[in-house]
Amino acid sequence: MNPLELAGQSSTEPGFDFPDCLAQDLFVAQAMRAPERPAVISVSGGLSYGELLSASRMLGHRLRALGVKPNTLVAIVMDKGWEQVVGVLGALEAGAAYLPMDANVPPDRLRYLLEDGEVEVVLTQSWLDERLKWPGNVARVSVDQPGLLAGDAEPLARRQTPEDIAYVLYTSGSTGKPKGVMIGHRGLVNCILETNRAFSVKADDRALAVTALHHDMSVYDIFGILAAGGSIVMPERDGTRSPDHWVDLINQLGVTVWNSVPAFMEMLLVHAAARKLVLRDRLRLAFLGGDWIPLSAPARIREHFGDVQVVSVGGPTETTVWNIWFPVKQLPPDWKSIPYGHPIANTRYYVMDQNLNECPAGAPGELCCAGVGLLKGYWRNPDQTAARTAVHPRTGERIYRTGDRGRLMPDGEIEFLGRIDRQIKINGQRIELGEIEATLIRQPGVKQAVVDAVEVDGQKKMVAYVVPDLGLQLQPGDLRAAVENFLPAHMLPSTFLILESLPLNANGKVDRSLLPAPTSNEPFPGGLPPMSGMEAIISSIWSRILGVAQLSPTDNFFDLGGDSILLVQVHAELQEALGRVFSVTDLFQYCSIRSLGKYLEGQTKPQFTGDDIADRISKRQRALEQQRRVRQLS
C-alpha cells in the first residue's frame, strides 16, 4: 500500500493525521511514482529517484548479509556527497538505525563513539577508509567502491516497526562523555510530513544540503525533501563551507529551500553584501534553527533574496529535528528576540517549575516537551534517560525536561529565555561545558579546570581557565593539543588561560564573575616579529576584524577567536585590497598570516580537500608534542 495513502492506519495522536509507516517508506512511495525525477543533484552529477531506490536496496541487501538488525546501529562516517544519502537509506532498508559521525573527529573520539554505539558495520568512502584509524572489530563498506551497488535491488521485507529507532545522534554530555539520542520512525514521519504540509514543500523544491550529517537539521534535508518528491542539492566536499560555492549552486541548480543554523546564513549574507549580490526569485523558504537568530537577519535575507519565507525552527535533538516554529514576518521595533513560537502538530510544550507544576502565563520556568516526537531514550544509558524524562502529574503523559528556560505568552507563543544549566550553543552546536572541563581535568598536570562562555563583540567564545598541579608549568598550546585528541573542533576553547588558583565565593564555589577576561593584546616575548608586504596587508585586516592589536606571522586565525563568519569578512576585504578573486576555502587551509601570505604571493599552491582539516590538526598535534619534549630536555 502507498504510505502516502495510509490515512486509515494513521496515528491516534490528536491533531494532524500522519501515516503509521517508516521514514524511508515516504521516499519509496515517491520513487515508485516518478523514478525518473532527480533525487540528489550536484555540479558533478546525481541520482534519480529510481537510481537512489535501487542503490539503497542493493546496500540494504549487503548490510543484511553482514548481520544488521532492527535497533542496532550502522555508523555513517563520510564527507559530503551522494554516498551519504545512499548510506542513510541503505541502513534503514536493511532494518537498522543509522549513526552519523563527523569524519574529522579526533581518533580517540571516533573510537569511543563506535565502541559505545556497539557498531559492527561502518559505511564510509574509499578515501576515508584509507585515511582514518579504525578499530579492528568493525566491518567497513565504502559506498563509492566500484561494483558495490550492482547487486540485488529487489525490495527487502520490512523488519522494523514505527516504534523502532530510525537514527541516533550523539550530543555533548555533562558527565564528560557524549550521549546518544535515540529517535524513532513515528516522530520523524510526523515532523517531516507536518513541515511539508505547513510550508507547502513540493516536488519542484530543491534544498541545499549545507548542514553536516551528524547535525539533526540534516535529517530534514534528506527525509523531508525526498518525502515531498523534491531534490537534494549536494555541495562538493571541498565547498561545504564556501559561500561562493553556495551561491553558484543556488543560481545554477535552482535551490528554493535553505535549512541551516543562523551562522551559515550569516556567512552567506556577509558574502552577498561584500559582492553586492541580489539573488531574487531564487530561495522561497529559509529554515533557521539551532541557535539565536539575529533580529536583523530576516530583513537582510529578503534584501538579497526577495520575498523569502523565513521560519525560526527549534527544539532539542531529543524532540526530533524540530518541534516548534515561528514564521517570521515583520518584526516590531521593540522586540528583543524572535519568539520560539508554537509547537508543531502532535507535540506539546509545558512551562513547569522544579516540582513539575505548570507555571501561569508569563511566569518563567523550565520548558518540558511531550508528544509523538520524544526520544526513545539515551543509547545504553537508562540512568540519563530517567533523569531527563518524567511523567506529567496532571496528564500522565511522558515529558522531556529540556533544561531550557521559557515562558508562555498571552497569545500562546513560547518565549525562549536561555538555559537553566551550563549548556551552551555555538554555531548551532550543543555544548556541555562540563564535558570540556572533565576532559581537561583528565590531562596530566591539571589540578583544576573551568570553562566559561564569554561574549566578545556579540559572539560567544569559550575560555578555559586551568590551574596546574603544584610546581608544574603548563603551556596553553600543549593543553590545546592534548584535548584535540578527545574533543571535536567545535568544542575546543578559543583561549586557554593558566591561573595560580580559581576565584572562590563565600561558599567555596568558583566565582565566575571574577574570572579574568581574555586578552590578545599581551606583548610577545622578545618583541613582535617584523611583517611587511603581503603579511602586513593580511595582519592589518585580521587585526581590525578580530580586534587584536598585536599579531605574529605564525598566529592561527581560529586560535585568535576567528570563526567562519569572520573568515568570510576577511575574504571579502582581502579580495578588495588585492584586486583579485580567490576561494574562501583557501583561507581554511592557510590559516596563519605567514602561510596565507605565501599562498597569496604564489609561493604555495592550493591543495585543499575535505581531509585537510584533520591532517592539519594531526600535524599541529605532532609539532606541539615535539616542542614539549624539547622543553623537557632543556
Kindly report, residue by residue over 226-251, the tens digit of the pLDDT: 999 999 999 998 888 899 999 999 99
Question: Which residue is listed with cell 518524567?
Answer: 390
pLDDT above 80 for 471: no
Q: Is the Cβ–Cβ distance between 314 and 291 less than 8 Å?
A: no
Q: What pLDDT was estimated at residue 521? A: 43
Which of 127, 131, 189 minimizes the C-alpha distance to 164? 189
DSSP state of 513: G
Rounded Cα distance between 521 and 523, Å, is: 6
Alpha helix locations (H) across 199-317?
218-219, 225-228, 243-253, 262-275, 297-305
CA distance 557 to 180: 32
Report the b/e string of 30-62 with b at 16+ CB within 10 A. Answer: bbeeeeebbbbbbeeebbbbbbbbbbbbbbbbb
Give the tens place of pLDDT for each residue, 152-206: 889 999 999 999 999 999 987 766 688 999 999 999 999 999 999 999 999 999 9
DSSP SS3 for 152: coil
Among residues 455, 410, 462, the alpha carbon closest in space to that of 432 is found at 462
**389 vs 318: CA distance, rounded Å:** 10
Of 27 and 435, the structure prediction assigns the larger pLDDT to 27
For 363-411, write each residue's pLDDT tens digit: 999 999 999 999 999 999 999 999 999 999 999 999 999 999 899 988 8
What count of other Cβ atoms lies within 10 Å of the Cβ of residue 24?
27
Average pLDDT score over residue span 610-630:
40
Return the number of other C-beta atoms located less than 10 Å from residue 412's C-beta: 10
Residue 591 pLDDT > 70 = yes
At a CB cut-off of 8 Å and minimum separation 6, what does 173 contact? 179, 384, 432, 434, 435
Most confident range, picked from 353-357, 481-485, 523-527: 353-357
Q: How many CB atoms lie within 10 A of CB 147?
A: 6
Residue-wise pLDDT for 153-164, tens only, equals 899 999 999 999
CATH number for the domain whose boundaries are 23-401: 3.40.50.12780
Q: Would the CA dihedral through 530, 523, 518, 464 be positive or negative? A: positive
C-alpha 388/C-alpha 403 separation (Å) is 9
Q: Which CATH architecture has domain 423-506?
A: 2-Layer Sandwich (3.30)
| Residue 431, all three cell numbers | 555544548
Judge whether residue 473 has pLDDT over 60: yes
Give me the residue spans of the domains in the chain. Answer: 23-401, 423-506, 533-607
pLDDT of residue 525 exceeding 60, the answer is no
Percentage of the chain modeled with pLDDT above 70:
87
Give how far Cα 364 sits from Cα of 237, 246, 368, Å: 44, 40, 12
The residues, any chain, with a CB within 8 Å of residue 153's CB and separated by 6 or more, are 53, 54, 57, 58
Reduced to 3 states (helix: H, G, I; strand: E, B; else coil), residue 82 is helix
The winner for highest mean pLDDT among 446-460, 485-499, 519-533, 608-622 is 485-499
Around 373, how many Cα atoms within 13 Å sit in the side-chain half-sphere? 27
Contact 275, 307 (CB under 8 A): no
CATH class of 533-607: mainly alpha
Between CA 19 and CA 9 the distance in angstroms is 6
Left, alpha or beta for 306 (phi > 0: left; psi -120 to 50: alpha)?
left
pLDDT in tens, 533-552: 888 899 889 988 887 777 88
